[in-house]
Amino acid sequence: MAMFTTSDGCPIAYTIHSARIPNPPRMVLIHSLALDSSIWDGVVERLAGRAEILTYDCRGHGRSGRQAGRFTTELFARDLLELLDHVGWQKVIIAGCSMGGCVVQAFAGQYASRVAALALIDTTAWYGEDAPKTWRQRAATAEAQGLAGLVDFQMTRWFGDAFRAAHPESVNAAIRVFLANDLACYAASCILLGDADLRRFLPHIAVPVAVIVGEQDYATPLAAAQYLHEAIAGSTLTVLPKARHLTPMECPDLIAAQLLALTERPTSAHA
């Protein structure tokens, strides 16, 4: 893991996973709220050697800087732009899960020339009219009660019942990351999601896009994925049976396969 500092002084922790083939596709994987790049470990393992992969912890998360401020999708997208410039990557396939998917949409809307393809996983363009209030209430609950009070709620949203029973070590690892969050940064990230409205960007996306959602995702349900699919010309929609909100952890084989398929699609979504 390496460190990079953004133009406004935030350290960003990142890792580049190398490939074993000439001229490999380059992929960036962006994690969900209150977790870190480790949600992608299973996907990275399955893509090993077939792509050059950049994973990183968003500001306020994981090993990256934890100075809370006004977090926005535009700020997080700028962080990614500066990170790509730092590592010298020009055009990339970008996949984002949940909050990461919101960052992906903001990045594609603002820096289209840097995007080769997108994977929007368990995410939405907009949480709805009540979102600012709802997400601020979640932030206030965390600040009043601590993150431990949200663990049961998060576990059942993140993972299906069968996965939780079969993979307690993965569930416990995610909980440890969640509980290690800085409360002020968690609250700022909740507000980011409550205020996010990426709908204006969707009609202008003209690269291959895979929209992926767990069949039982209650956080960003199938209707949100269908909206993305209908708004983005040429996109595909894949529903993963019995999966919930963290499909990169629940279904790494299927997510890896979707990302590899993106590398083989025409460069224009309209082709």
Residue with tokens 């009070």: 149
Picking from 3, 241, 263, 220, the residue whose alpha carbon sits closest to that of residue 105 is 220
Is residue 193 very low, low, confident or very high in pLDDT (cuts 50, 70, 90)?
very high
For the question of whether the overall pTM of this predicted structure is more than 0.95, the answer is yes
Of the listed ranges 153-162, 211-220, 250-259, 261-270, the least confidently predicted one is 261-270
* Confidence at 207, pLDDT banded by 50, 70, 90: very high
Residue range 13-56, pLDDT digits in tens? 999 999 989 999 999 999 999 999 999 999 999 999 999 999 99
CB-facing half-sphere around the CA of 251: CA atoms within 13 A: 27
Q: What are the tens digits of pLDDT across the range 165-181? A: 999 999 999 999 999 99
Give the residue-averaged pLDDT of 233-248. 97
- Dump pLDDT digits (tens) for 110-144: 999 999 999 999 999 999 999 999 999 999 999 99
φ, ψ of residue 202 to 5 degrees: the values are -60, -45
Look at the alpha carbons of 142, 148, 153, 155 in this order and tell me if their dihedral is positive or negative: positive
| Mean pLDDT to the nearest integer, 241-256 | 97
pLDDT level of residue 265 (50, 70, 90 thresholds): confident
How far apart CA 113 and CA 204 sit, in angstroms, is: 12
Does the domain at 2-263 match CATH 3.90.1200.10? Answer given as no
pLDDT digits (tens, 9 = 90+) for 53-67: 999 999 999 999 999
Calculate the average pLDDT of the chain. Answer: 96
Dist CA 100 CA 256 (whole Å) = 16
Give the C-alpha separation, 63 to 31, whole Å: 13
Q: Are 234 and 208 in contact (CB under 8 A)?
A: yes
Contact 97, 39 (CB under 8 A): yes
Strand order in the sheet with 2-5: 2-5, 11-17, 52-56, 26-30, 92-97, 115-121, 209-214, 236-240
Helix then strand count (H, E) for the chain reads: 11, 8
For residue 271, what pLDDT is reported? Answer: 36
Residue 267 pLDDT grade (very low, low, confident, very high; cuts 50, 70, 90)? low
Q: Are 103 and 252 in contact (CB under 8 A)?
A: no
| Radius of gyration, alpha carbons of the chain | 17
pLDDT at 138: 95
Give CA 148 to chain center in angstroms. 23
Percent of the chain with pLDDT over 90: 96
